Amino acid sequence: MNYAYKLRLHAYYGLGQMVKYRNALDGLRAICIIFTIFNHISFVPSYIDGSFGVDIFFALSGWLITWLLLRDSSQDQKINLKSFYIRRFFRIVPLYAFTIFIYFCASELLARIGQPEKQHEFFNALPYIASFNSEFRPVEAGNSFLHAWTLGIEEKFYIIWPCILFFLLKKPLWAFTISALIIGGLLFASNGESFFVRGYFGLAFGALLAIIVKNKPHLIDIFKKSEIASICVGLMVLTYIASLIFPMVNIWNLAMSFCGAGLVASLWFNEDSPTSRILSFSPLAWAGKLTFAIYLTHVLVLNAVEIGIDKLGLENSMMLEFTLAYPLSIAFAYILHITIEKPCITMGRKIASGPIFQAGFSPRI
């Protein structure tokens, strides 16, 4: 494993200290993004519920950000907010901004071929998309880049949660309580929309588990010595089956996030478990490295595939659309990864590790 990949985990989450790279986490991301792609295909049967993919993503983000911040601080390191935010900016914003530009070009193209309503929807949605507030967009803004709602929720978490931990590092439960109050306010502002509940509770499950494990170190041995990952996967399968038999809004998505948090923690501490070894399968882990770029652009690829199938006069189906769209999404994401994402991550890491952002406003704990 080369040095760049060992650094990737902290580069991905905007943290400075090197940690051992976990291939299984990228394998998990790869599976989640497959579910997400299915969620946006028009011909998916009722027994495939792709919405669960983002619920696991939320739990994964909540765990990793919280655990790494708490772990670094306990080793007499710094929570350097300036460095953290610089890394997050270069990790997220350049590729996100380029995706918005692609959507702009697509709306222009559609307007020229007789679909001006798509351009109108895009410009109505643009203020919300550009400000990472897509979850607040009104109905009239349409569906242009609609899945950016998850990024809006995650970015608020990335901005607010580390800042709270910075000031209440020795009182993480207080930090979590204050965060819960903030989440309550956001849920109130959203009138309890289901995606708000799923997003913030999913992040909270991961963050709370990290706090509990950090304050109860004996739990680490339990994760290391037992096959909790298999138990969590089993519970996730049961949750999925139950969601098909007894459809209920939010309940099963929250249960999936809850189990997902346990799975992520187990993969973190127990790299030798059968589940971890399966998820560490090289092609799966490699595809997982492209998850962010795939997530941003897969709907555009799906739309292009649907247009192509229609132009060729073929009968569309779920498997045809997925078989074409998934490899194309990976190929497009790889191009974006090597031309935009990876260089920007490297640039952000260099800037954040410079003397300007390593000094001051970061007291040792």
Q: Tell me the pTM.
A: 0.88
What confidence score (pLDDT) does residue 2 get? 43
What confidence score (pLDDT) does residue 6 get? 43
What confidence score (pLDDT) does residue 193 get? 74
- CB atoms near residue 251 (< 10 Å): 13
How does pLDDT run across 28-62, given as a tens digit for each residue?
999 999 999 999 998 889 899 999 999 999 999 99
The tokens of 219 are what? 């739990």
What confidence score (pLDDT) does residue 355 get? 64
What confidence score (pLDDT) does residue 14 get? 45
Are 66 and 13 contacting, i.e. CB atoms less than 8 angstroms apart? no
Decide if 177 is inside a domain.
yes
What confidence score (pLDDT) does residue 12 get? 46
Mean pLDDT, residues 5-18: 46
More confident residue, 143 or 240: 240
Domain residues for the domain of 73 are 3-358
Decide if 262 is inside a domain.
yes
Decide if 364 is inside a domain.
no
Decide if 365 is inside a domain.
no
pLDDT tier, 255 (very low <50, low <70, confident <90, very high otherwise): very high
Residue 171 clears pLDDT 80, i.e. is over it: no
* Of the candidates 168, 174, 198, 175, the residue with the CA atom closest to the CA atom of residue 186: 198
Mean pLDDT, residues 306-335: 95
Are 293 and 337 contacting, i.e. CB atoms less than 8 angstroms apart? yes
For residues 3 and 8, give the distance between their C-alpha atoms in angstroms, rounded to a whole number: 9
* Of the candidates 364, 363, 358, the residue with the CA atom closest to the CA atom of residue 82: 358
Decide if 257 is inside a domain.
yes
Dihedral, CA of residue 308, residue 314, residue 316 and residue 317, to nearest 10:
-120
How does pLDDT run across 153-163, given as a tens digit for each residue?
999 999 988 88
Residue 9 clears pLDDT 60, i.e. is over it: no
Mean pLDDT, residues 233-246: 95
Domain tally, the chain? 1
What confidence score (pLDDT) does residue 114 get? 81
Size (the chain), residues: 365
What confidence score (pLDDT) does residue 157 get? 92
Q: What's the mean per-residue pLDDT of the chain?
A: 86
How does pLDDT run across 259-318, given as a tens digit for each residue?
999 999 999 999 999 999 999 999 999 999 999 999 999 999 999 999 999 999 999 999
